[in-house]
Amino acid sequence: MSQDKPKAAAALAYDPEKDAAPRVVAAGRGQLAEIIEKLARENNVPVYHNAELALTLTGLGAGREIPPGLYQVVAEIIAWVYRMEQKAK
């Protein structure tokens, strides 16, 4: 039997006029993670895979701003999303 952790997924949003940091807007594990990823793909939202970060973000829960310890890794993801959007143009 596999000892793998269930899949985790989280969605982030950032509004610099309202938020001090990016905010978790959806988070879940297992079937909920699958739904979050499916909805992202259906809406042409870039999907970045980092299982460890996804587990950390799901632990924060939806509605929470990311803590300062995650700023660097999330900044790297935001830069990746920006590059993906530029390629798509």
pLDDT tens, residue by residue, 62-81: 999 999 999 999 999 989 98
pLDDT value of position 3: 56
Residue range 8-88, CATH number: 3.40.1690.10
Where are the domains positioned within the chain? 8-88
Burial class (CB in 10 A: 0-12, 13-18, 19+), 66: buried
> Closest by alpha carbon to 30, among 52, 58, 50, 56?
58
pLDDT score recorded for residue 5 = 76
Using the structure block, give the residue that is written with the tokens 């939202």: 45
Cα separation of 87 and 45, whole Å? 14
Q: What is the pLDDT of residue 25?
A: 96
Q: Residue 19: how many CB atoms within 10 A of its CB?
A: 12
Low-confidence spans in the chain with pLDDT less than 70: 1-3
pTM attached to this predicted model: 0.84
Q: What pLDDT is attached to residue 1? A: 43
